[in-house]
């Protein structure tokens, strides 16, 4: 379990850096191209999981359809994230995005009438305090973005991590109906042994189909996935999109290992996956992307992390 946990945490943390490098601000459809590469590699792994994960092949087409609302929440949230990091710092975006862990228990309380204790309320409050603090002390960043991008794009850019947070939390909440209890799941012909793999496989195939649709879209807009030149060889052409390709590879590695990482169901696994990827992303952003955030922003990022860790343990 620990090996998969470490691999998944590192892979997702590294993927965040490649997203930032691959989603070039001056490349109009860079966020869609990243989505295409992620979907391509997800599709490859989905084929492996379909036959090696004990998924019921006869029932899978229907389960693919039934799971599509959950998959849509996850995929659209990721596209929002890719668009956002074209314009804002990864070290600001990632903690906001991973604060969705505070939204899920609220949705469970409202729609499932579940109750959580005072410590959970405190943890959720800590996360929201951190989110408000980051927003308040991002004044200089907002001014720079408005000057550089224009007010409309600047607003959209900072809104994207929050859109990711809400959509990802909604997807996680909907996942409860599909994977938590075999006796009341909306999926058919599944067991405790294969329900997670069935849902995961449906998500990955949906991502692959979205990638195909987006590829058709960018081609219709006159855009190429790779930058071609008559004198360039195959490897030179592929290297023009190396950051996007690496983002897709590392995202898929994280996706492929996270089910095994959570197999023990232990609190420490949730903590490491929830907060560990943010920490890895923050460290890599500082050293490889040379991102700098203010002392006050760093304080509120740490506040968010403490809330995520506390909520994961609870």
For the entire predicted model, the pTM comes to: 0.89
How much is the pLDDT for 156? 87
Between the CA of residue 135 and those of 139, 158, 196, what are the distances in Å? Answer: 8, 9, 36
Q: Which helix (H) or strand (E) holds 240?
A: none
Residue 258 has pLDDT above 60, yes or no: yes
CB 272 within 8 A of CB 33: no
CA distance 219 to 151: 29
Count the neighbouring beta carbons within 10 Å of the beta carbon of residue 219. 11
Position 230 scores a pLDDT of 57
- Angstrom distance (rounded) from CA 266 to CA 269: 6
pLDDT of residue 220: 95
Residue 123: CB partners within 8 Å, gap ≥ 6?
A: 102, 307, 310, 311, 314
- List the structure tokens of 62: 């229907």
Confidence band for 294, pLDDT divided at 50, 70 and 90? confident
> In whole angstroms, what is the distance from residue 165 CA to residue 186 CA?
24
Q: Which of 25-29, 259-263, 291-295 has the lowest mean pLDDT?
A: 259-263
pLDDT at residue 262 tops 70: no
Query: Which residue blocks in 176-241 are alpha helix, DSSP H?
Result: 195-220, 234-239
Region of poorest pLDDT, from 42-51, 72-81, 154-163, 255-264: 255-264
The string of pLDDT tens digits covering residues 12-59 is: 999 999 999 999 888 889 999 999 999 999 999 999 988 887 899 999
Whether the predicted pLDDT of 276 surpasses 80: no
Q: Report d(CA 255, CA 204) in Å as an integer.
A: 9
Judged against a pLDDT cut of 70, whether residue 232 lies above it is answered with: no
Q: What is the SS3 assignment for 263?
A: coil
User: Among residues 5, 18, 15, 2, which one has the least CA distance to residue 289?
Assistant: 18
Residues 45 and 43: their CA atoms lie apart, in Å, by 5
Question: Is pLDDT of 264 > 60?
Answer: no
What would the two tokens of residue 121 be? 């309320």
Per-residue CA distances from 67 to 21, 238, 263 (Å): 31, 33, 21
User: Angle of helix 118-136 relative to helix 90-97, nearest 10 degrees?
Assistant: 150
Could you tell me if 254 and 8 are in contact, meaning their C-beta atoms sit under 8 angstroms apart?
yes
pLDDT at site 126: 87
Number of H helices and E strands in the chain, helices first, is 15, 0
Q: What percent of the chain has pLDDT over 70?
A: 91
Give residue-wise pLDDT tens across range 89-146: 888 888 888 888 778 888 877 777 777 788 888 888 888 888 888 776 666 666 677 7
Give the list of residues 6+ apart from residue 172 with CB closer than 8 angstroms, or none.
100, 104
Question: Model confidence at 217, in pLDDT bands (50, 70, 90)?
Answer: very high
């Amino acid at each position: 379990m620990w090996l998969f946990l470490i691999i998944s945490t590192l892979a997702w943390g590294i993927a965040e850096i490649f997203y930032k490098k691959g989603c070039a601000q001056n490349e109009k459809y860079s966020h869609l191209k990243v989505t295409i590469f992620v979907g391509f590699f997800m599709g490859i792994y989905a084929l492996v999981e379909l036959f090696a994960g004990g998924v019921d092949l006869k029932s899978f087409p229907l389960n693919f359809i039934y799971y599509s609302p959950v998959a849509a929440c996850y995929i659209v949230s990721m596209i929002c994230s890719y668009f956002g990091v074209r314009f804002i710092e990864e070290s600001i975006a990632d903690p906001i995005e991973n604060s969705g862990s505070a939204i899920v228990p609220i949705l469970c309380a409202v729609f499932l009438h579940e109750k959580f204790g005072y410590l959970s309320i405190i943890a959720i409050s800590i996360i929201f305090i951190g989110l408000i603090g980051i927003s308040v002390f991002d004044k200089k960043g907002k001014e720079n973005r408005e000057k550089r991008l224009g007010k409309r794009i600047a607003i959209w850019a900072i809104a994207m991590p929050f859109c990711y947070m809400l959509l990802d939390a909604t997807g996680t909440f909907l996942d409860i109906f599909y994977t938590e209890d075999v006796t009341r799941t909306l999926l058919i012909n599944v067991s405790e042994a294969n329900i997670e793999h069935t849902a995961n496989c449906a998500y990955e195939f949906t991502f692959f189909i979205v990638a195909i649709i987006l590829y058709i879209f960018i081609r219709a807009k006159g855009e190429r996935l790779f930058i071609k030149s008559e004198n360039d060889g195959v490897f030179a052409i592929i290297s023009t999109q190396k950051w996007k390709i690496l983002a897709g590879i590392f995202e898929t590695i994280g996706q492929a290992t996270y089910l095994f990482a959570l197999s023990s169901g232990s609190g420490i696994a949730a903590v490491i996956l929830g907060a560990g990827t943010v920490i890895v992303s923050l460290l890599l952003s500082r050293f490889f992307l040379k991102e700098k955030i203010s002392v006050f922003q760093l304080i509120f990022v740490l506040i968010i992390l403490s809330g995520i860790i506390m909520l994961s343990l609870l």
